[in-house]
């Protein structure tokens, strides 16, 4: 018996053609917790937030704003690259 994933409600609202292609993997929680692409995306989010936060709340940020933008772009690029590279034990295939 298949049990619905936590994201099943969001998928149910998508058109049928898209739903056929977008499916959560059975071990999506393990993949999200251990994949480098997720870590790089989290780092990019933090850097973007720091860039905005320093711009809004600090009159003289300790680091030039372009540094955060550059670091965020680099981590986003690394996330893209890491998403394409096969990582040990994170293939998305069910384990035997």
Q: 93: pLDDT confidence band, cut at 50, 70 and 90?
A: low
**Residue 85 confidence (pLDDT) above 80:** yes
Of residues 64 and 75, which shows the higher confidence score?
75
**Residue 37 confidence (pLDDT) above 80:** yes
Average pLDDT in the 15-39 region?
79
Q: What is the pTM of this model?
A: 0.63
Report how far residue 31's alpha carbon sits from residue 25's, in angstroms, rounded to the nearest whole number: 9
Q: Which residue has the tokens 């989290």?
A: 42
In total, the chain counts a number of residues equal to 96
End-to-end alpha carbon distance in the chain: 18
The domain limits of the chain are 26-84
Q: 1: pLDDT confidence band, cut at 50, 70 and 90?
A: very low
3-state secondary structure of 25: coil
């Amino acid at each position: 018996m298949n049990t619905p994933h936590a994201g099943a409600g969001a998928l149910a609202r998508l058109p049928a053609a898209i739903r056929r292609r977008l499916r959560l993997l059975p071990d999506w929680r393990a993949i999200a917790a251990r994949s480098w692409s997720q870590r790089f995306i989290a780092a990019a989010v933090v850097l973007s937030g720091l860039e905005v936060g320093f711009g809004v709340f600090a009159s003289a940020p300790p680091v030039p704003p372009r540094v955060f933008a550059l670091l965020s772009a680099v981590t986003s690029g690394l996330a893209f690259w890491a998403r394409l590279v096969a990582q040990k034990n994170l293939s998305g295939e069910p384990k035997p």
